[in-house]
């Protein structure tokens, strides 16, 4: 159960780092700040991610580390049945892709949350 929950939670929290930090910067950069403001008017719950970005980044970082540790120290095991083993290998490739997309989203969100305000201020 935990092996299935951690990758999805990692992806969700990594994408939430984009919502809190990278998307507002992107919308302002392309001149669509008003569009983002109206989006927040429709979904005011998104403001929670910006208000609690420290907690979001800490939890997302811990989950990313746990996910990477699980993939590194506990190698996935596929059954001996060739048909099922092929599906298992395919699922592992998809899982790796989700992990790397999560890591990239986390790094982009972290850049816009913590480094960009000092670099472009």
Rounded to whole angstroms, the Cα distance separating 95 from 119 reads 34
Q: For the chain, what is the largest distance between any 2 Cα atoms, rounded to a whole number of angstroms?
A: 58
pLDDT in tens, 91-111: 888 888 888 888 888 888 888
pLDDT of 1 strictly over 70: no
Length of the chain: 121
pLDDT of 88 strictly over 70: yes
Please state the domain extents for the chain: 2-119
Rounded to whole angstroms, the Cα distance separating 57 from 119 reads 20
């Amino acid at each position: 159960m935990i092996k299935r929950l951690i990758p999805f939670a990692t992806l969700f929290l990594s994408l939430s780092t984009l919502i809190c930090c990278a998307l507002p910067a992107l919308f302002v950069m392309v001149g669509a700040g008003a569009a983002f403001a109206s989006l927040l008017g429709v979904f005011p719950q998104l403001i929670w991610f910006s208000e609690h970005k420290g907690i979001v980044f800490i939890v997302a970082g811990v989950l990313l580390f746990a996910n990477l540790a699980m993939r590194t120290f506990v190698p996935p095991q596929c059954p001996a049945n060739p048909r099922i083993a092929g599906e298992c290998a395919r699922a592992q490739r998809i899982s790796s892709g989700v992990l790397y997309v999560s890591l990239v989203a986390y790094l982009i969100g972290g850049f816009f949350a913590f480094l960009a305000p000092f670099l472009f201020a």
